[in-house]
Amino acid sequence: ETGVTQTPRHLVMGMTNKKSLKCEQHLGHNAMYWYKQSAKKPLELMFVYSLEERVENNSVPSRFSPECPNSSHLFLHLHTLQPEDSALYLCASSQDWASGKLEQYFGPGTRLTVT
């Protein structure tokens, strides 16, 4: 595997379900991100992890819960979602701030539909 991978690629879930999205990066980076992309809106940053520590949470509802067990893996745990949470969820990775290399590389995304 190369680059950034995400599973599943598509997910349909009911409002009472619990599911998790998984992201893995094979680039040797140490910062990882979750973004939400809805139609006709800019990419919205949800969570940032640097060296496995959460450094930013952009006021995301508590029904989204991130987990970063190590610098290569990132999860997004979902529970009691709303239909408006249907979107493309993108994971990205980069080197950390100190390196000055701030280019972010994206995974293929998970297309989430909440019914």
Q: 89: which 2 tokens?
A: 């969820």
Total residues interacting with another protein, rule: CB under 8 A = 24
Residue 21 vs 48, nearer CB to another protein: 48
Name the helix (H) or strand (E) containing 104.
none
Residue 55 in contact with another protein, rule: CB under 8 A: yes
Residue 10 in contact with another protein, rule: CB under 8 A: no
Asked whether 104 and 94 are in contact (CB, 8 A), the reply is: yes
Binding string, residues 12-51; x marks residues near another protein by CB under 8 A: -------------------x-x------xxxx-x--x-x-
Residue 108 in contact with another protein, rule: CB under 8 A: yes
Q: Residues 6, 7, 11, 17: what is their CA dihedral angle, to the nearest 10 degrees? A: -110
3-state secondary structure of 84: helix
Residue 12 vs 56, nearer CB to another protein: 56
Q: Which of residues 67-86 bind another protein (CB under 8 A)?
A: none
Sign of the four-CA dihedral 21, 24, 25, 30 = positive
Smallest distance, another protein to C-beta of residue 110, A:
10
